[in-house]
Amino acid sequence: MKRSPLTLAILTSLAITTVSITHAAPLLQTHGDYSYANHHKANAYLEIDVKAFEDNITRLQNTLKDDTKICAIMKADAYGNGIDLLMPSINKLNVPCIGIASNEEARVARAHGYQGTIMRVRLASGDEAEAALEYGITELTGSLQHAQALSAIAQKHGKTIEYHLSLNAGGMDRNGIDMDGASGQRDAIAITKLPNLRITGIMTHYANEDVDFVRERLAKFNEQSQWLIQAANLDRNKLTLHTANSFATIAVPESHLDMVRPGGLIYGDTIDAKPAYKPIMSFKTKVASVQFYPAGTSVGYDGTHTLMRDSYLANLPFGYSDGYRRAFTNKGVVLIGGMRAPVLGKTSMNTTMVDVTDIIVKQPVNINDEVVIYGAQADARISQAEIEDINEALLADLYTIWGNSNPRLIKP
């Protein structure tokens, strides 16, 4: 049957809409090719050290008590490192739980044959929770209204949704139910009685990375969770109690309870605080060209840097479209040949210029030479602290974007 262009456009739009509702953006690879041989195909890329990832998890496993399990947080596509790339390691190390945000992340995990608990670490919308039924996600809830919506979805499909109840004891005012008053206590009990829902855990999340704050809020969580278990007549042996993010896992061992939820820790972005955990991501590009420019000329848009000497500048084929924000204008530094090269001029959409004058007097700089934007080269490093100081934001603010903007390759 012949369809008009308008009809085809509508059908295409509906198809795209259906995909986005079912899978949640962005769509992720499954069993992708992350071979190092492909690095020359991209202008910039992320190099993921799988061995360091596995070592970080193993190190953490060895520090925990036998009855404390790990839930590896893999939201934001494994913090930009790629959940598809890292799931084989999760399976290899028998990690019993992963934490995700999107249905896509759950889909990829199940596609890798993962049989453990997949716990959502934020509240899901109704449509999202309904689409997630096929993946067996343990949902998070922290309000009676939200839990009632989950219950209705489960009843509609004749299924039971497992969930963890979030308490606001950690002070986030985000996902958790406030049990300081009688109203919150009544709602919490009511949630546990809803049909087609099964409570399998109680949790909270800490608003601050401060030892005294965590201990104060942990005491509050312990009191509230124990009250709820008794008041709602719950079976403690069938519940997982958990509060510890990466900071609490490192700094407050008594917060470990039944399970810890390390995120940044297993990816090594807490290197400055805990150097035994190694960063697994490096951000790299290559030299596109090296050109001579005389003193007195200006570099880049708006001429924000004027050369004070005759200079050799390396043209690097990456910019803010690849996640290297304009905050690095005249402030950033990259590594070439194990030496530091400062960014000159404004970071462009697809190009960044760096000064290699002082490098060239020691060694040549050639087209296709490796450039490290974040990570180590020889004995030099662009550190987490350095990046965060220039960017005035957490490293996670960047690497989650890098992961969506650049291909990932496994470090050989």
Q: Please check whether residue 118 is in contact with residue 138, taking contact to mean a CB–CB distance below 8 angstroms.
A: yes
Residue closest to 61 by CA, chosen among 48, 71, 73: 71
Q: How far is residue 152's CA from residue 150's CA, in Å, rounded to a whole number?
A: 5
Would residue 75 show up in a list of annotated catalytic residues for this protein?
yes
Segments of 131-178 assigned E as strands: 137-141, 161-166
Would residue 41 show up in a list of annotated catalytic residues for this protein?
no
Segments of 1-107 assigned E as strands: 44-48, 69-73, 97-100
* 3-state DSSP of 296-352: CCEECHHHCEECCCCEEEEEECCCHHHCCCHHHCCCCEEEECCEEEEECCCCCCCCE
Three-state DSSP class for 233?
coil
For residue 83, give both structure tokens: 């959940």
Three-state DSSP class for 259?
strand
Candidate list 75, 220, 284, 346, residue with the active-site label: 75
Q: Please check whether residue 126 is in contact with residue 149, taking contact to mean a CB–CB distance below 8 angstroms.
A: yes
- Residue 256: phi and psi, rounded to 5, are -65, -40
- Residue 363: phi and psi, rounded to 5, are -160, 155
For residue 216, give both structure tokens: 């104060």
For residue 34, give both structure tokens: 């992350």
Report, as residue numbers or ranges, the catalytic residues. Answer: 75, 301
